[in-house]
Structure 1
Protein backbone atom coordinates (compact mmCIF):
# COMPACT_ATOMS: atom_id res chain seq x y z
CA UNK A 1 0.00 0.00 0.00
CA UNK A 2 1.28 3.45 -0.83
CA UNK A 3 1.33 6.03 1.97
CA UNK A 4 -1.82 8.13 2.20
CA UNK A 5 -2.81 11.38 3.82
CA UNK A 6 -4.68 9.39 6.45
CA UNK A 7 -1.61 7.72 7.84
CA UNK A 8 2.13 7.73 7.13
CA UNK A 9 2.20 3.94 7.11
CA UNK A 10 -0.28 3.86 4.24
CA UNK A 11 -3.30 2.53 6.13
CA UNK A 12 -6.57 4.41 6.19
CA UNK A 13 -8.09 3.59 9.56
CA UNK A 14 -10.87 4.30 12.00
CA UNK A 15 -10.48 3.95 15.76
CA UNK A 16 -12.75 2.33 18.33
CA UNK A 17 -12.03 3.16 21.96
CA UNK A 18 -13.84 1.16 24.63
CA UNK A 19 -14.54 3.47 27.56
CA UNK A 20 -17.65 2.18 29.27
CA UNK A 21 -16.54 -0.47 31.76
CA UNK A 22 -17.62 -0.76 35.38
CA UNK A 23 -14.18 -0.11 36.97
CA UNK A 24 -14.93 -2.41 39.92
CA UNK A 25 -11.33 -2.28 41.19
CA UNK A 26 -11.57 1.51 41.25
CA UNK A 27 -14.74 1.44 43.31
CA UNK A 28 -16.99 2.08 40.32
CA UNK A 29 -15.28 5.38 39.49
CA UNK A 30 -15.54 6.93 36.03
CA UNK A 31 -12.18 5.42 35.05
CA UNK A 32 -11.82 6.93 31.55
CA UNK A 33 -12.56 10.34 33.06
CA UNK A 34 -9.78 10.16 35.67
CA UNK A 35 -6.92 12.52 34.92
CA UNK A 36 -3.24 11.87 34.32
CA UNK A 37 -0.97 14.73 33.35
CA UNK A 38 -3.77 17.27 33.17
CA UNK A 39 -6.16 15.40 30.89
CA UNK A 40 -8.45 12.41 31.19
CA UNK A 41 -7.33 8.89 30.38
CA UNK A 42 -9.68 8.64 27.41
CA UNK A 43 -8.37 11.95 26.06
CA UNK A 44 -4.85 10.49 26.10
CA UNK A 45 -6.09 7.60 23.95
CA UNK A 46 -8.06 9.87 21.61
CA UNK A 47 -4.88 11.90 21.04
CA UNK A 48 -3.00 8.72 20.11
CA UNK A 49 -5.42 8.05 17.21
CA UNK A 50 -5.52 11.61 15.91
CA UNK A 51 -4.82 10.26 12.40
CA UNK A 52 -8.04 8.23 12.27
CA UNK A 53 -10.72 9.05 9.72
CA UNK A 54 -13.31 8.56 12.46
CA UNK A 55 -12.79 7.99 16.18
CA UNK A 56 -15.63 6.23 17.99
CA UNK A 57 -15.66 6.20 21.79
CA UNK A 58 -17.98 3.52 23.15
CA UNK A 59 -19.16 4.86 26.47
CA UNK A 60 -20.83 7.90 28.03
CA UNK A 61 -20.62 11.08 25.99
CA UNK A 62 -17.95 13.56 27.03
CA UNK A 63 -16.91 17.01 25.80
CA UNK A 64 -14.20 15.74 23.45
CA UNK A 65 -14.14 17.51 20.07
CA UNK A 66 -14.15 15.50 16.84
CA UNK A 67 -15.23 12.23 18.43
CA UNK A 68 -18.32 10.13 17.72
CA UNK A 69 -19.95 8.29 20.63
CA UNK A 70 -21.76 4.97 20.73
CA UNK A 71 -23.18 2.75 23.47
CA UNK A 72 -23.42 -0.99 23.70
CA UNK A 73 -26.86 -2.46 24.37
CA UNK A 74 -27.31 -2.84 27.25
CA UNK A 75 -24.66 -0.47 28.65
CA UNK A 76 -21.73 -2.12 30.44
CA UNK A 77 -22.55 -5.51 28.96
CA UNK A 78 -18.95 -6.29 28.13
CA UNK A 79 -16.21 -5.66 25.58
CA UNK A 80 -17.67 -7.75 22.75
CA UNK A 81 -21.03 -5.89 22.64
CA UNK A 82 -19.09 -2.63 23.03
CA UNK A 83 -16.88 -3.52 20.07
CA UNK A 84 -19.98 -4.37 18.03
CA UNK A 85 -21.48 -0.96 18.80
CA UNK A 86 -18.28 0.79 17.74
CA UNK A 87 -17.84 -1.26 14.58
CA UNK A 88 -21.24 -0.12 13.35
CA UNK A 89 -19.64 3.28 12.76
CA UNK A 90 -16.43 2.00 11.11
CA UNK A 91 -15.93 2.25 7.35
CA UNK A 92 -12.13 2.36 6.90
CA UNK A 93 -10.32 -0.85 5.86
CA UNK A 94 -8.45 -1.02 9.17
CA UNK A 95 -9.73 -0.41 12.69
CA UNK A 96 -7.53 0.44 15.67
CA UNK A 97 -9.08 -1.02 18.82
CA UNK A 98 -7.94 0.45 22.13
CA UNK A 99 -9.00 0.56 25.76
CA UNK A 100 -9.97 3.94 27.14
CA UNK A 101 -7.46 3.84 30.02
CA UNK A 102 -4.03 3.69 28.35
CA UNK A 103 -2.12 6.78 29.56
CA UNK A 104 1.17 5.80 27.88
CA UNK A 105 -0.29 5.08 24.44
CA UNK A 106 0.97 7.57 21.83
CA UNK A 107 0.55 8.27 18.13
CA UNK A 108 3.94 6.65 17.48
CA UNK A 109 2.71 3.40 19.04
CA UNK A 110 -0.39 3.46 16.82
CA UNK A 111 1.86 4.12 13.82
CA UNK A 112 3.95 1.08 14.74
CA UNK A 113 0.84 -1.11 14.99
CA UNK A 114 -0.40 0.06 11.59
CA UNK A 115 3.00 -0.36 10.00
CA UNK A 116 3.15 -3.91 11.33
CA UNK A 117 -0.28 -4.60 9.87
CA UNK A 118 0.63 -3.17 6.47
CA UNK A 119 4.06 -4.74 6.06
CA UNK A 120 4.19 -7.90 3.97
CA UNK A 121 6.15 -11.03 4.80
CA UNK A 122 9.19 -10.86 2.48
CA UNK A 123 9.00 -12.86 -0.74
CA UNK A 124 12.45 -13.26 -2.37
CA UNK A 125 12.69 -12.15 -5.97
CA UNK A 126 9.32 -10.40 -6.12
CA UNK A 127 9.06 -6.63 -5.68
CA UNK A 128 5.27 -6.79 -5.39
CA UNK A 129 3.95 -8.01 -2.01
CA UNK A 130 2.53 -11.53 -2.27
CA UNK A 131 0.72 -13.61 0.34
CA UNK A 132 0.43 -17.43 0.01
CA UNK A 133 -3.23 -18.43 -0.40
CA UNK A 134 -2.92 -20.89 2.44
CA UNK A 135 -0.53 -18.97 4.68
CA UNK A 136 -1.82 -19.44 8.19
CA UNK A 137 1.15 -19.17 10.52
CA UNK A 138 0.99 -15.97 12.60
CA UNK A 139 3.94 -13.62 12.55
CA UNK A 140 5.69 -12.12 15.53
CA UNK A 141 7.43 -8.78 15.44
CA UNK A 142 9.76 -7.14 17.91
CA UNK A 143 10.03 -3.48 18.77
CA UNK A 144 13.00 -3.28 16.40
CA UNK A 145 10.74 -4.26 13.54
CA UNK A 146 12.17 -7.67 12.69
CA UNK A 147 9.55 -10.11 11.48
CA UNK A 148 9.54 -13.87 11.82
CA UNK A 149 6.94 -16.57 11.24
CA UNK A 150 5.98 -18.43 14.38
CA UNK A 151 5.32 -21.40 12.15
CA UNK A 152 6.99 -21.69 8.76
CA UNK A 153 4.59 -20.50 6.03
CA UNK A 154 3.24 -23.51 4.19
CA UNK A 155 4.23 -24.05 0.60
CA UNK A 156 1.68 -23.47 -2.12
CA UNK A 157 0.66 -21.10 -4.83
CA UNK A 158 1.08 -17.42 -4.22
CA UNK A 159 -0.34 -14.69 -6.36
CA UNK A 160 -0.45 -10.95 -6.39
CA UNK A 161 -3.26 -9.52 -4.34
CA UNK A 162 -5.37 -6.45 -4.72
CA UNK A 163 -5.12 -4.09 -1.73
CA UNK A 164 -8.54 -5.28 -0.55
CA UNK A 165 -7.59 -8.96 -0.87
CA UNK A 166 -4.30 -8.26 0.85
CA UNK A 167 -5.99 -6.74 3.90
CA UNK A 168 -8.26 -9.78 4.02
CA UNK A 169 -5.27 -12.14 3.94
CA UNK A 170 -2.93 -10.70 6.54
CA UNK A 171 -5.11 -10.57 9.64
CA UNK A 172 -4.59 -8.29 12.61
CA UNK A 173 -1.88 -7.08 14.96
CA UNK A 174 -2.12 -7.36 18.73
CA UNK A 175 0.25 -5.68 21.15
CA UNK A 176 2.00 -7.79 23.78
CA UNK A 177 3.17 -6.58 27.18
CA UNK A 178 6.63 -7.00 28.69
CA UNK A 179 5.72 -10.55 29.68
CA UNK A 180 4.65 -11.49 26.14
CA UNK A 181 0.93 -11.54 26.98
CA UNK A 182 -1.52 -10.39 24.33
CA UNK A 183 -3.34 -7.15 25.11
CA UNK A 184 -6.58 -7.55 23.20
CA UNK A 185 -7.56 -3.93 23.73
CA UNK A 186 -4.46 -2.64 21.96
CA UNK A 187 -4.38 -3.73 18.35
CA UNK A 188 -5.21 -3.19 14.67
CA UNK A 189 -7.65 -5.35 12.73
CA UNK A 190 -8.89 -5.67 9.14
CA UNK A 191 -12.39 -4.25 9.36
CA UNK A 192 -14.23 -6.58 6.97
CA UNK A 193 -12.81 -9.75 8.52
CA UNK A 194 -13.51 -8.50 12.02
CA UNK A 195 -17.11 -7.64 11.20
CA UNK A 196 -17.72 -11.08 9.68
CA UNK A 197 -16.07 -12.83 12.62
CA UNK A 198 -18.07 -10.79 15.10
CA UNK A 199 -21.36 -11.55 13.34
CA UNK A 200 -20.67 -15.28 13.70
CA UNK A 201 -19.20 -15.17 17.21
CA UNK A 202 -21.42 -16.39 20.09
CA UNK A 203 -18.96 -15.78 22.93
CA UNK A 204 -18.12 -12.91 25.27
CA UNK A 205 -14.31 -13.06 25.20
CA UNK A 206 -12.24 -10.71 23.06
CA UNK A 207 -9.50 -13.32 23.00
CA UNK A 208 -11.89 -15.87 21.54
CA UNK A 209 -12.95 -13.40 18.87
CA UNK A 210 -9.62 -11.81 17.99
CA UNK A 211 -7.24 -14.73 18.53
CA UNK A 212 -8.11 -16.50 15.25
CA UNK A 213 -7.67 -13.21 13.35
CA UNK A 214 -4.20 -12.47 14.74
CA UNK A 215 -1.30 -12.39 12.30
CA UNK A 216 1.28 -10.36 14.25
CA UNK A 217 2.11 -10.08 17.94
CA UNK A 218 3.97 -6.83 18.48
CA UNK A 219 6.17 -5.68 21.36
CA UNK A 220 6.83 -1.94 21.53
CA UNK A 221 9.12 0.26 23.65
CA UNK A 222 7.74 2.00 26.68
CA UNK A 223 4.58 0.64 28.21
CA UNK A 224 1.78 1.54 25.81
CA UNK A 225 -0.19 -1.48 27.04
CA UNK A 226 -0.24 -0.20 30.65
CA UNK A 227 -3.83 0.32 31.80
CA UNK A 228 -5.22 1.85 34.98
CA UNK A 229 -7.30 -0.82 36.66
CA UNK A 230 -6.47 0.10 40.27
CA UNK A 231 -5.61 3.16 42.35
CA UNK A 232 -2.00 2.00 42.42
CA UNK A 233 -1.98 1.88 38.60
CA UNK A 234 -3.36 5.41 38.46
CA UNK A 235 -0.76 6.67 40.91
CA UNK A 236 2.00 4.99 38.92
CA UNK A 237 0.80 6.67 35.73
CA UNK A 238 0.76 10.04 37.44
CA UNK A 239 4.26 9.52 38.83
CA UNK A 240 5.47 8.63 35.34
CA UNK A 241 4.17 11.97 34.11
CA UNK A 242 6.04 13.63 36.97
CA UNK A 243 9.24 11.84 35.96
CA UNK A 244 8.87 13.01 32.37
CA UNK A 245 8.16 16.58 33.45
CA UNK A 246 11.15 16.62 35.81
CA UNK A 247 13.46 15.47 33.03
CA UNK A 248 12.10 18.04 30.57
CA UNK A 249 12.21 20.87 33.10
CA UNK A 250 15.79 20.03 34.05
CA UNK A 251 16.81 20.00 30.39
CA UNK A 252 15.17 23.36 29.79
CA UNK A 253 16.85 24.89 32.86
CA UNK A 254 20.26 23.32 32.26
CA UNK A 255 20.12 21.30 35.46
CA UNK A 256 21.53 17.82 35.93
CA UNK A 257 18.51 15.67 37.00
CA UNK A 258 20.84 13.62 39.20
CA UNK A 259 21.31 16.68 41.44
CA UNK A 260 17.57 17.08 42.06
CA UNK A 261 16.20 15.33 45.15
CA UNK A 262 12.67 15.18 43.78
CA UNK A 263 11.18 13.24 46.69
CA UNK A 264 12.56 15.74 49.20
CA UNK A 265 11.09 18.66 47.25
CA UNK A 266 7.74 16.86 47.02
CA UNK A 267 7.77 16.26 50.77
CA UNK A 268 8.56 19.92 51.29
CA UNK A 269 5.72 21.20 49.09
CA UNK A 270 3.28 18.71 50.63
CA UNK A 271 4.06 19.81 54.16
CA UNK A 272 3.89 23.50 53.24
CA UNK A 273 0.61 23.06 51.36
CA UNK A 274 -0.99 21.18 54.26
CA UNK A 275 0.57 23.07 57.14
CA UNK A 276 0.71 26.62 55.80
CA UNK A 277 -1.29 27.26 52.61
CA UNK A 278 -1.46 25.77 49.14
CA UNK A 279 -0.04 28.83 47.36
CA UNK A 280 2.89 28.76 49.78
CA UNK A 281 4.07 25.39 48.41
CA UNK A 282 5.32 26.48 44.95
CA UNK A 283 6.52 29.77 46.44
CA UNK A 284 8.62 27.92 49.02
CA UNK A 285 10.14 25.65 46.36
CA UNK A 286 11.01 28.73 44.31
CA UNK A 287 12.60 30.48 47.29
CA UNK A 288 14.65 27.38 48.04
CA UNK A 289 15.83 27.34 44.43
CA UNK A 290 16.84 31.01 44.64
CA UNK A 291 18.77 30.34 47.84
CA UNK A 292 20.56 27.38 46.31
CA UNK A 293 21.43 29.41 43.23
CA UNK A 294 22.78 32.21 45.40
CA UNK A 295 24.77 29.76 47.50
CA UNK A 296 23.03 30.74 50.73
CA UNK A 297 21.14 27.46 51.23
CA UNK A 298 22.64 24.82 53.46
CA UNK A 299 22.52 21.10 52.70
CA UNK A 300 19.67 20.70 55.17
CA UNK A 301 17.64 23.77 54.13
CA UNK A 302 14.80 21.68 52.72
CA UNK A 303 14.62 19.60 55.90
CA UNK A 304 14.55 22.77 58.00
CA UNK A 305 11.71 24.19 55.91
CA UNK A 306 9.76 20.92 56.30
CA UNK A 307 10.15 21.17 60.09
CA UNK A 308 9.09 24.81 59.98
CA UNK A 309 5.95 23.93 57.99
CA UNK A 310 5.04 21.10 60.37
CA UNK A 311 5.35 23.52 63.32
CA UNK A 312 3.72 26.43 61.52
CA UNK A 313 1.16 27.12 64.22
CA UNK A 314 3.83 27.47 66.87
CA UNK A 315 6.12 29.40 64.54
CA UNK A 316 3.48 32.02 63.76
CA UNK A 317 2.63 32.44 67.44
CA UNK A 318 6.26 33.05 68.30
CA UNK A 319 6.74 35.41 65.36
CA UNK A 320 3.64 37.46 66.13
CA UNK A 321 4.65 37.82 69.79
CA UNK A 322 8.27 38.77 69.09
CA UNK A 323 9.22 42.21 70.37
Structure 2
Protein backbone atom coordinates (compact mmCIF):
# COMPACT_ATOMS: atom_id res chain seq x y z
CA UNK A 1 0.00 0.00 0.00
CA UNK A 2 1.34 3.37 -0.88
CA UNK A 3 1.63 6.30 1.47
CA UNK A 4 -0.83 8.23 -0.67
CA UNK A 5 -3.63 5.71 -0.22
CA UNK A 6 -4.94 7.22 3.01
CA UNK A 7 -5.05 10.82 1.80
CA UNK A 8 -8.36 10.31 0.00
CA UNK A 9 -10.02 8.54 2.94
CA UNK A 10 -12.16 10.04 5.69
CA UNK A 11 -11.03 11.39 9.05
CA UNK A 12 -12.41 11.17 12.58
CA UNK A 13 -11.43 13.83 15.11
CA UNK A 14 -12.16 13.02 18.75
CA UNK A 15 -13.07 16.23 20.55
CA UNK A 16 -15.19 15.09 23.47
CA UNK A 17 -14.23 14.33 27.05
CA UNK A 18 -14.65 16.26 30.26
CA UNK A 19 -11.16 17.85 30.27
CA UNK A 20 -10.98 17.42 34.05
CA UNK A 21 -7.29 18.28 34.08
CA UNK A 22 -8.22 21.62 32.54
CA UNK A 23 -10.81 22.29 35.19
CA UNK A 24 -13.61 21.43 32.78
CA UNK A 25 -12.59 23.96 30.13
CA UNK A 26 -13.75 23.40 26.54
CA UNK A 27 -10.35 22.01 25.54
CA UNK A 28 -10.89 21.88 21.76
CA UNK A 29 -11.61 25.61 21.83
CA UNK A 30 -8.55 26.56 23.88
CA UNK A 31 -6.49 28.89 21.65
CA UNK A 32 -2.93 27.79 20.91
CA UNK A 33 -0.73 29.33 18.22
CA UNK A 34 -3.43 31.84 17.44
CA UNK A 35 -6.47 29.59 16.97
CA UNK A 36 -8.48 26.92 18.78
CA UNK A 37 -6.83 23.53 19.11
CA UNK A 38 -9.55 21.83 17.13
CA UNK A 39 -8.77 23.96 14.09
CA UNK A 40 -5.28 22.48 13.95
CA UNK A 41 -6.83 19.01 13.67
CA UNK A 42 -9.35 20.10 11.04
CA UNK A 43 -6.62 21.67 8.93
CA UNK A 44 -4.52 18.52 9.25
CA UNK A 45 -7.45 16.47 7.94
CA UNK A 46 -8.27 18.91 5.12
CA UNK A 47 -7.15 16.50 2.37
CA UNK A 48 -9.58 13.82 3.53
CA UNK A 49 -12.91 13.18 1.82
CA UNK A 50 -14.97 13.76 4.94
CA UNK A 51 -14.20 14.96 8.45
CA UNK A 52 -16.30 13.69 11.33
CA UNK A 53 -15.78 15.53 14.62
CA UNK A 54 -17.06 13.63 17.65
CA UNK A 55 -17.91 16.19 20.33
CA UNK A 56 -19.31 19.66 20.50
CA UNK A 57 -20.68 21.13 18.36
CA UNK A 58 -18.29 24.00 18.82
CA UNK A 59 -18.35 27.44 17.28
CA UNK A 60 -16.60 26.27 14.13
CA UNK A 61 -17.92 27.40 10.75
CA UNK A 62 -16.56 24.76 8.41
CA UNK A 63 -18.70 23.01 5.80
CA UNK A 64 -16.26 20.09 5.70
CA UNK A 65 -17.19 19.02 9.23
CA UNK A 66 -19.91 16.54 10.15
CA UNK A 67 -20.71 16.51 13.87
CA UNK A 68 -21.32 13.37 15.91
CA UNK A 69 -21.60 12.51 19.59
CA UNK A 70 -20.96 9.31 21.49
CA UNK A 71 -23.74 7.65 23.46
CA UNK A 72 -23.76 8.07 26.34
CA UNK A 73 -22.00 11.41 26.29
CA UNK A 74 -18.50 11.33 27.84
CA UNK A 75 -18.41 7.56 27.29
CA UNK A 76 -14.68 7.62 26.57
CA UNK A 77 -12.47 7.39 23.47
CA UNK A 78 -13.63 3.96 22.30
CA UNK A 79 -17.28 5.04 22.43
CA UNK A 80 -16.38 8.27 20.64
CA UNK A 81 -14.55 6.42 17.89
CA UNK A 82 -17.50 4.07 17.51
CA UNK A 83 -19.77 7.10 17.07
CA UNK A 84 -17.40 8.51 14.47
CA UNK A 85 -17.46 5.26 12.52
CA UNK A 86 -21.26 5.21 12.64
CA UNK A 87 -21.34 8.75 11.30
CA UNK A 88 -19.10 7.79 8.40
CA UNK A 89 -21.43 5.04 7.29
CA UNK A 90 -20.01 3.05 4.41
CA UNK A 91 -17.34 4.23 2.03
CA UNK A 92 -19.06 5.71 -0.99
CA UNK A 93 -16.15 6.41 -3.32
CA UNK A 94 -16.03 4.77 -6.72
CA UNK A 95 -12.46 3.55 -6.48
CA UNK A 96 -12.40 2.39 -2.86
CA UNK A 97 -13.81 -0.55 -0.93
CA UNK A 98 -14.20 -0.76 2.82
CA UNK A 99 -11.86 -3.77 2.93
CA UNK A 100 -8.91 -1.57 1.97
CA UNK A 101 -10.16 1.93 2.83
CA UNK A 102 -8.32 4.00 5.42
CA UNK A 103 -9.48 6.43 8.06
CA UNK A 104 -7.37 9.06 9.78
CA UNK A 105 -7.95 9.26 13.53
CA UNK A 106 -6.85 12.35 15.46
CA UNK A 107 -7.32 13.77 18.92
CA UNK A 108 -8.34 17.42 19.10
CA UNK A 109 -5.49 18.44 21.41
CA UNK A 110 -2.58 18.15 18.96
CA UNK A 111 -1.11 21.58 18.16
CA UNK A 112 1.32 20.02 15.66
CA UNK A 113 -1.43 18.07 13.92
CA UNK A 114 -0.57 19.31 10.43
CA UNK A 115 3.06 18.21 10.68
CA UNK A 116 1.99 15.00 12.39
CA UNK A 117 -0.36 13.99 9.57
CA UNK A 118 2.28 14.82 6.98
CA UNK A 119 4.62 12.37 8.71
CA UNK A 120 1.92 9.72 9.00
CA UNK A 121 0.96 10.10 5.34
CA UNK A 122 4.58 9.74 4.29
CA UNK A 123 4.95 6.47 6.21
CA UNK A 124 4.60 3.10 4.54
CA UNK A 125 1.43 1.23 5.41
CA UNK A 126 2.25 -2.48 4.99
CA UNK A 127 -0.58 -4.73 3.87
CA UNK A 128 -0.17 -7.00 6.91
CA UNK A 129 -0.92 -4.35 9.55
CA UNK A 130 -4.18 -2.81 10.69
CA UNK A 131 -2.86 0.67 11.30
CA UNK A 132 0.05 3.09 11.41
CA UNK A 133 0.27 5.19 14.57
CA UNK A 134 2.59 7.94 15.70
CA UNK A 135 5.24 7.24 18.33
CA UNK A 136 6.12 10.31 20.39
CA UNK A 137 9.50 11.53 21.61
CA UNK A 138 9.31 9.19 24.62
CA UNK A 139 8.53 6.18 22.41
CA UNK A 140 4.87 5.97 23.43
CA UNK A 141 2.37 4.98 20.77
CA UNK A 142 -0.28 7.65 20.26
CA UNK A 143 -3.36 5.72 19.19
CA UNK A 144 -5.32 8.91 18.56
CA UNK A 145 -2.78 9.92 15.95
CA UNK A 146 -2.92 7.28 13.27
CA UNK A 147 -4.09 5.88 9.97
CA UNK A 148 -6.19 2.72 10.24
CA UNK A 149 -7.93 0.26 7.99
CA UNK A 150 -11.57 1.24 8.29
CA UNK A 151 -12.67 -2.39 8.29
CA UNK A 152 -10.19 -3.22 11.07
CA UNK A 153 -11.59 -0.50 13.31
CA UNK A 154 -15.15 -1.61 12.64
CA UNK A 155 -14.25 -5.18 13.61
CA UNK A 156 -12.51 -3.96 16.75
CA UNK A 157 -15.57 -1.97 17.83
CA UNK A 158 -17.84 -4.93 17.09
CA UNK A 159 -15.60 -7.18 19.22
CA UNK A 160 -15.96 -4.93 22.29
CA UNK A 161 -18.47 -6.19 24.82
CA UNK A 162 -19.27 -2.55 25.69
CA UNK A 163 -17.80 0.58 24.09
CA UNK A 164 -19.01 2.87 26.89
CA UNK A 165 -16.11 3.34 29.28
CA UNK A 166 -13.68 1.26 27.22
CA UNK A 167 -10.17 2.56 26.60
CA UNK A 168 -8.30 2.73 23.33
CA UNK A 169 -6.07 -0.04 24.67
CA UNK A 170 -9.18 -2.21 25.06
CA UNK A 171 -10.37 -1.32 21.58
CA UNK A 172 -7.08 -1.85 19.74
CA UNK A 173 -5.72 -4.82 21.68
CA UNK A 174 -6.45 -7.25 18.85
CA UNK A 175 -5.00 -5.11 16.04
CA UNK A 176 -1.52 -5.22 14.53
CA UNK A 177 -0.11 -1.70 14.50
CA UNK A 178 3.06 -0.19 13.09
CA UNK A 179 4.59 2.61 15.14
CA UNK A 180 6.10 5.52 13.21
CA UNK A 181 8.47 7.84 15.13
CA UNK A 182 7.09 11.37 14.85
CA UNK A 183 8.79 12.97 17.87
CA UNK A 184 7.37 16.29 18.99
CA UNK A 185 4.74 16.28 16.26
CA UNK A 186 2.71 14.04 18.57
CA UNK A 187 2.72 16.58 21.40
CA UNK A 188 -0.67 16.64 23.07
CA UNK A 189 -1.94 19.34 25.40
CA UNK A 190 -4.10 17.92 28.16
CA UNK A 191 -3.02 20.08 31.11
CA UNK A 192 -2.69 23.84 31.61
CA UNK A 193 0.99 23.29 32.37
CA UNK A 194 1.49 21.67 28.96
CA UNK A 195 -0.45 24.46 27.27
CA UNK A 196 1.58 27.16 29.00
CA UNK A 197 4.84 25.39 28.13
CA UNK A 198 3.83 25.11 24.48
CA UNK A 199 2.84 28.78 24.36
CA UNK A 200 6.19 29.80 25.86
CA UNK A 201 7.96 27.78 23.18
CA UNK A 202 5.89 29.50 20.46
CA UNK A 203 5.88 33.13 21.59
CA UNK A 204 5.07 34.66 18.22
CA UNK A 205 1.35 33.99 18.66
CA UNK A 206 1.14 33.92 22.42
CA UNK A 207 -0.67 37.25 22.57
CA UNK A 208 -3.65 35.69 20.80
CA UNK A 209 -3.79 32.72 23.13
CA UNK A 210 -5.05 34.31 26.31
CA UNK A 211 -8.66 34.70 25.30
CA UNK A 212 -9.68 32.08 27.87
CA UNK A 213 -8.76 31.37 31.48
CA UNK A 214 -5.08 30.52 31.43
CA UNK A 215 -4.76 28.08 34.31
CA UNK A 216 -6.73 26.24 36.97
CA UNK A 217 -4.90 28.25 39.61
CA UNK A 218 -6.55 31.42 38.25
CA UNK A 219 -9.94 29.73 38.55
CA UNK A 220 -9.28 28.43 42.06
CA UNK A 221 -8.04 31.82 43.23
CA UNK A 222 -11.13 33.53 41.80
CA UNK A 223 -13.55 30.98 43.31
CA UNK A 224 -11.99 31.12 46.75
CA UNK A 225 -11.81 34.91 46.80
CA UNK A 226 -15.35 35.40 45.50
CA UNK A 227 -16.82 32.76 47.79
CA UNK A 228 -15.19 34.51 50.75
CA UNK A 229 -16.55 37.86 49.59
CA UNK A 230 -20.04 36.33 49.49
CA UNK A 231 -19.71 34.87 52.97
CA UNK A 232 -19.44 31.30 51.69
CA UNK A 233 -17.03 28.50 52.57
CA UNK A 234 -14.77 28.10 49.51
CA UNK A 235 -14.21 24.42 50.34
CA UNK A 236 -17.92 23.76 49.84
CA UNK A 237 -17.92 25.00 46.26
CA UNK A 238 -18.02 21.92 43.92
CA UNK A 239 -16.20 23.65 41.07
CA UNK A 240 -15.60 20.56 38.95
CA UNK A 241 -19.21 19.38 39.18
CA UNK A 242 -20.56 22.81 38.29
CA UNK A 243 -18.22 23.11 35.31
CA UNK A 244 -19.32 19.69 34.10
CA UNK A 245 -23.04 20.44 34.23
CA UNK A 246 -22.49 23.89 32.69
CA UNK A 247 -20.69 22.32 29.73
CA UNK A 248 -23.32 19.62 29.35
CA UNK A 249 -26.12 22.19 29.31
CA UNK A 250 -24.29 24.43 26.85
CA UNK A 251 -23.64 21.52 24.49
CA UNK A 252 -26.97 19.74 24.74
CA UNK A 253 -29.37 22.69 24.96
CA UNK A 254 -27.92 26.05 23.90
CA UNK A 255 -24.67 27.68 24.92
CA UNK A 256 -26.13 30.61 26.93
CA UNK A 257 -28.16 28.12 28.98
CA UNK A 258 -24.97 26.93 30.68
CA UNK A 259 -24.31 29.79 33.12
CA UNK A 260 -28.03 30.46 33.64
CA UNK A 261 -28.57 26.82 34.62
CA UNK A 262 -25.69 27.03 37.07
CA UNK A 263 -27.44 30.02 38.66
CA UNK A 264 -30.67 28.01 38.88
CA UNK A 265 -28.79 25.22 40.63
CA UNK A 266 -27.50 27.78 43.12
CA UNK A 267 -31.03 29.03 43.78
CA UNK A 268 -32.25 25.49 44.34
CA UNK A 269 -29.45 24.80 46.81
CA UNK A 270 -30.25 28.06 48.57
CA UNK A 271 -33.82 26.83 49.04
CA UNK A 272 -32.75 23.58 50.65
CA UNK A 273 -31.87 21.18 47.83
CA UNK A 274 -28.58 19.33 47.91
CA UNK A 275 -26.13 20.10 45.11
CA UNK A 276 -26.24 16.46 43.99
CA UNK A 277 -30.05 16.44 43.78
CA UNK A 278 -30.12 19.76 41.91
CA UNK A 279 -27.53 18.59 39.39
CA UNK A 280 -29.33 15.26 38.95
CA UNK A 281 -32.57 17.12 38.20
CA UNK A 282 -30.83 19.28 35.59
CA UNK A 283 -29.18 16.26 33.96
CA UNK A 284 -32.55 14.48 33.80
CA UNK A 285 -34.00 17.53 32.04
CA UNK A 286 -31.02 17.61 29.62
CA UNK A 287 -31.59 13.94 28.77
CA UNK A 288 -35.24 14.65 27.92
CA UNK A 289 -34.50 17.82 25.93
CA UNK A 290 -34.99 17.56 22.16
CA UNK A 291 -31.56 16.79 20.74
CA UNK A 292 -30.17 15.88 24.16
CA UNK A 293 -28.34 12.66 24.93
What interval of TM-score do these two structures reach, taking the shorter chain for normalisation?
0.5 to 0.7
1:10 paired to 2:10: no
1:232 paired to 2:193: yes
1:39 paired to 2:44: no
1:217 paired to 2:176: no
In 2, the alpha carbon distance for the partners of 1:84 and 1:49 equals 19
Answer whether contact 1:26 1:230 (CA < 8 A) is retained: yes
- Which structure's CA Rg is the greater one? 1
In 2, the alpha carbon distance for the partners of 1:115 and 1:191 equals 19
Answer whether contact 1:117 1:170 (CA < 8 A) is retained: no
Match of 1:24 in 2: 20
CA 1:244 to 1:29, structure 2 compared with 1: closer, same or farther past 3 Å?
A: closer
* Runs of at least 5 residues in structure 2 that lack an aligned partner in the other structure: 92-100, 207-293
Answer whether contact 2:116 2:186 (CA < 8 A) is retained: no
In 1, the alpha carbon distance for the partners of 2:61 and 2:161 equals 33
- The alignment's C-alpha RMSD in Å is 2.0
Match of 1:115 in 2: 122
Q: Work out the number of aligned pairs and report it.
A: 190
Answer whether contact 1:43 1:64 (CA < 8 A) is retained: no
Correspondence 1:1-323 to 2 at 5 A: 1=1, 9-11=4-6, 12-62=8-58, 63-65=60-62, 66-90=64-88, 91-92=90-91, 93-106=101-114, 108-118=115-125, 120=126, 166=127, 169-202=128-161, 204-221=166-183, 223-242=184-203
| TM-score, normalization by structure 1 | 0.55
Higher relative contact order (CA 8 A, sep 6+): 2
In 1, the alpha carbon distance for the partners of 2:176 and 2:136 equals 16
In 2, the alpha carbon distance for the partners of 1:237 and 1:214 equals 32
CA deviation string 1:265-315 (max 9, x = no partner) = xxxxxxxxxxxxxxxxxxxxxxxxxxxxxxxxxxxxxxxxxxxxxxxxxxx
**Structure 2 SS opposite 1:189:** strand
Match of 1:261 in 2: none
Point out 4+ residue stretches in structure 1 off by more than 3 angstroms. Answer: none
CA 1:27 to 1:244, structure 2 compared with 1: closer, same or farther past 3 Å?
A: closer
Answer whether contact 2:54 2:68 (CA < 8 A) is retained: yes
In 1, the alpha carbon distance for the partners of 2:197 and 2:85 equals 32
| TM-score, normalization by structure 2 | 0.60
Answer whether contact 1:70 1:85 (CA < 8 A) is retained: yes
In 1, the alpha carbon distance for the partners of 2:80 and 2:124 equals 23
* Runs of at least 5 residues in structure 1 that lack an aligned partner in the other structure: 3-7, 121-165, 246-323
In 2, the alpha carbon distance for the partners of 1:58 and 1:105 equals 17
Answer whether contact 1:116 1:216 (CA < 8 A) is retained: no
